[in-house]
Amino acid sequence: MSAKKKAADAAIVPVNGASAPARARVQKAYKNYVGGAFVRSESGRYFQVKDVAGDEPGLVENIALSSRKDGRDAVKAAHAAGAGWAGKTAYNRGQILYRLGEVMEARRAELASEIERGLGLARQEARDEVATSVDRVISFAGWADKYQSLLASSNPVAGPHFNFSVPEPMGVVAIVAPRRPSLLGLVSAILPVIVSGNTCVVLASEDDPRTAVTFCECLATSDLPGGVVNVLTGKVKEVAPHLARHMEVLALDLWLDDAELLKELETLAVATVKRVKKHAVAGIDFGDERLAGLASLTPFLETKTFWHPMGM
């Protein structure tokens, strides 16, 4: 038998109960999520994270290290998606977010595994975080067609006119997600922004960026239009200042305890008169249902007031 024939026979996978040959592990490529697609950083840079628990402690994987250009591309995608997302009916947005909850529910085990190996949480604790995250998505899906009734008003005026105030989305919001919890914190930051028709650019947790990328796979396989949520991994201090000064970013949502960075971002936001919402992460109980309440939506809404003549 020729050497070529022997090599071909060796490559055949055994069947009928025979032991299979050893195979290399296919490692996942963790990329940014921009405009509904998974893309590498334009710079080609990456940083490494290591499993601290799970089935393969010590495993090292490469994560995209985002640049200023990645931030600009993400803002461009968010801006392009804004009109379409804001133009959908409230009912339709609610159905899309409910579908996101369905996809997350189907991938609960995978999301929990990412949290476990990234942050070292106990398996049950990771599972509980995923369950709470899914419930929070469903809660915001329910808000989609209800907050308008609670925040709109018919205002008393003197004269033959009607005067109405209604909430409207702002536009593109830049979010610095909490470092921990990596999934529940991410969901609690993104959903209040997009439920009303805004779009966003998110800087994911530096402690556990892999969970954020896996969450993006849920976004990609739900009905959420590309560009509504754009997620970048990397160093917050490198990218956040560029988002804070970007003209098309209309608000900052900062889940940070770094006082120096907060001050820098607030100062940069002044030049373009951005709205800035700050959260002291160390004092937050992310399991608190108030994070899914009406008050979480209002920082990312504009109130439009208009007059209409009264008919005779």
Domain ranges, ordered by start, for the chain = 53-309
pLDDT 10s digit of each residue in the chain, 312 long? 455 444 444 444 555 555 667 888 788 889 999 999 999 999 999 999 998 887 777 788 999 999 999 999 999 999 999 999 999 999 999 999 999 999 999 999 999 999 999 999 999 999 999 999 999 999 999 999 999 999 988 878 888 888 888 999 999 999 999 999 999 999 999 999 999 999 999 999 999 999 999 999 999 999 999 999 999 999 999 999 999 999 999 999 999 999 999 999 999 999 999 999 999 999 899 999 999 999 999 999 999 887 878 765
The CATH homologous superfamily for domain 53-309 is: Aldehyde Dehydrogenase; Chain A, domain 1 (3.40.605.10)
pLDDT at site 107: 97
pLDDT at site 17: 57
pLDDT at site 310: 77
CA distance 210 to 111: 9
pLDDT at site 10: 45
Look at the block and give the residue holding tokens 């949520």: 229
Q: Are the beta carbons of 225 and 241 closer than 8 angstroms?
A: no
